[in-house]
Amino acid sequence: MYQLTGYSDDIYAEGHLEIQHYDLILTCTLVNRTPKTLSNVYLDLLTLGSLKIIQKPTVVNLAANSI
């Protein structure tokens, strides 16, 4: 697991990178640390070099104080 945001941020994010042959799979966990529901949350990724994003992350709604 790699910490992607600070512990005190409104949305805390962790990522887990898995390598399968020539594919890199990034699994992210988002935690809403606010007392209200956050709608239309998405994770924007940037690649460097010749890497390309095949499947874009989906937009999610995060309930108050939930994962």
Q: What is the mean pLDDT of residues 20-30?
A: 90
For residue 57, what pLDDT band results from cuts at 50, 70 and 90?
A: confident
Residue found under tokens 């940037």: 46
Residue found under tokens 């874009």: 56
Round to whole Å and give the CA distance between 15 and 37: 22
Q: What is the mean pLDDT of residues 41-67?
A: 87
- Cα 62 to chain centroid distance, Å, stands at 12
pLDDT of residue 51: 84
Give ∠ CA 66-5-34 in degrees, rounded to 5: 35
pLDDT of residue 18: 94
Read off the pLDDT of residues 1-14 as tens digits, 9 standing for 90 and up: 888 888 889 999 99
pLDDT of residue 14: 93
Round to whole Å and give the CA distance between 58 and 11: 16
